């Protein structure tokens, strides 16, 4: 167990200091231009402020950002799992099974940190538009009465979201779904690597998320076959009456079952497949 922990922490330390973190600037740009700025306009118009966690909930409820957020994450993790240079010999020295579980623990750390970074960005960039509140702000609860129907800031958090309970609970679900969706991407990459097709995993994740976002608006039944719709909390309820139309626990099980299946298949692959030299390139 100690060796697995050391493997994951060594890789995490290298990853968090890598120059590719500059891609986070793209994330700040998209979140600020598309979400934070719209909420800022409502604050200027009314003099009221949003609750601190509401910008993150708004971001998690925006379907097209379910393409952007994983895409930027995949740019940060484009070579996962990395066996460049001496890391291949590190894999051989530590043993494939321990190295494999180390990659899973490393993935969990990365997904949690990346999700936390998104929360931090919304708080830092939104400073001046937010305040600490334990529950929903008036701008969210009564936004449709204050502004017209075309107001973007109001449309970001629908009644189907804030009618479901306390803001902290909804935030927790959104954070969980965001992290699970990213972890699923990593497990797809790891499984393809285990069977000597590392590059396919990267493009498979992009394709699945993009296709899922498109089909989410096309058909009600097919959308739940993709992680994109399952990761959006507000999709689980009707827009106006806020009645459940797809159980939350089913989406949690969806992610856990697929992630579990990918881990098992990847473990089989890593223990039985001869890693080719091309894996390092």
Q: Which of 128, 121, 149, 151 is nearest to 59 (CA)?
A: 121
Q: Which residues pair with 244 in a beta bridge?
A: 237
Average pLDDT, the chain: 82
Q: Is residue 231 within 8 Å of 180, Cβ to Cβ?
A: yes
Rounded to 10 degrees, the C-alpha dihedral 136/133/148/213 comes to: -60
Range of the domain at 218: 2-280
Q: Domain count of the chain? A: 1
Model confidence at 29: pLDDT above 60:
yes
What token pair was written down for 7?
A: 């493997």
> What's the confidence (pLDDT) of residue 281?
38
Asked, as a colleague might, if the bond just before 81 is cis with ω within 30 of 0, I would say yes
Token pair, residue 190, equals: 């790891």
User: Given a cut of 90, is residue 264 above it in pLDDT?
Assistant: yes
In tens, the pLDDT along 74-107 reads 999 888 887 655 555 666 667 778 888 989 999 9
According to the model, what pLDDT value does residue 280 have?
40
Strand 50-51, strand 130-131: pairing = parallel
Cα diameter, the chain:
64
């Amino acid at each position: 167990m100690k060796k697995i922990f050391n493997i994951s922490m060594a890789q995490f330390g290298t990853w968090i200091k890598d120059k590719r973190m500059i891609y986070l600037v793209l994330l700040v740009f998209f979140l600020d231009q598309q979400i934070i700025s719209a909420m800022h306009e409502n604050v200027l118009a009314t003099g009221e402020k949003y609750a601190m966690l509401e910008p993150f909930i708004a971001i998690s409820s925006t379907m097209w950002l379910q393409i952007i957020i994983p895409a930027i994450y995949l740019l940060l993790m484009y070579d996962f799992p990395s066996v460049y240079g001496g890391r291949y010999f590190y894999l051989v020295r530590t043993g494939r099974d321990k190295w494999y579980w180390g990659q899973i623990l490393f993935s969990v750390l990365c997904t949690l940190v990346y999700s936390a970074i998104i929360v931090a960005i919304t708080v830092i960039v939104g400073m001046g538009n937010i305040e600490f509140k334990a529950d929903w702000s008036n701008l969210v609860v009564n936004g449709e009465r204050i502004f017209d129907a075309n107001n973007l800031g109001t449309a970001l958090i629908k009644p189907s979201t804030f009618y479901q309970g306390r803001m902290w609970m909804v935030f927790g679900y959104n954070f969980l779904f965001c992290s699970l969706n990213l972890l699923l991407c990593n497990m797809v990459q790891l499984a393809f690597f285990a069977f000597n097709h590392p590059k396919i995993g990267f493009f498979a994740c992009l394709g699945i998320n993009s296709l899922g976002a498109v089909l989410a608006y096309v058909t009600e039944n097919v959308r739940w076959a993709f992680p994109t719709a399952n990761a959006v909390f507000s999709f689980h309820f009707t827009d106006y009456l806020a009645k459940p139309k797809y159980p939350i626990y089913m989406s949690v099980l969806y992610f856990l079952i697929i992630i579990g299946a990918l881990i098992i298949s990847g473990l089989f692959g890593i223990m039985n497949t001869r890693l080719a030299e091309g894996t390092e390139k």
